[in-house]
Amino acid sequence: AQTVTQSQPEMSVQEAETVTLSCTYDTSENNYYLFWYKQPPSRQMILVIRQEAYKQQNATENRFSVNFQKAAKSFSLKISDSQLGDTAMYFCAFLNPLTQGGSEKLVFGKGTKLTVNP
């Protein structure tokens, strides 16, 4: 079974600084997808960034980028120029391609609570 581990329960960063959130996963699959979701105090989970395992190039979305190390099974999220609105829980998630049952199972980590300080 796939597992996702986020080893940092809480982190803090000063506004305008850069912070990196860690995520490791365990799988025997070669093709899969990785995600970072953000859950602000409003509780609505929002997709931040998505990475396809067969792509070597690291995904980027504006101030958010990932460092995808397939051999090490590591998928860290870097937030540049941190803003107060980045304060949220961040969840790393792993998706196995279709199984024979035809349904998807997104496996989440326990999350990292990020606080951006003014």
Partner 1 sequence: ETGVTQTPRHLVMGMTNKKSLKCEQHLGHNAMYWYKQSAKKPLELMFVYSLEERVENNSVPSRFSPECPNSSHLFLHLHTLQPEDSALYLCASSQDPARAGGEKLFFGSGTQLSVL
| List 8, 11, 13, 50, residue binding partner 1 (CB under 8 A) | 50
Phi, psi for residue 16 in degrees, rounded to 5: 80, -10
**What's the min distance (Å) between Cβ of 15 and partner 1?**
26
Which residue, 1 or 118, has its beta carbon nearer to partner 1? 1
Q: Indicate whether 105 belongs to the interface with partner 1 (CB under 8 A).
A: yes
Instruction: Choose among 70, 96, 78: nearest CA to 18.
Output: 78
Binding site for partner 1 (CB under 8 A): 4, 33, 35, 37, 42-47, 50, 52, 91, 95, 97-98, 101-111
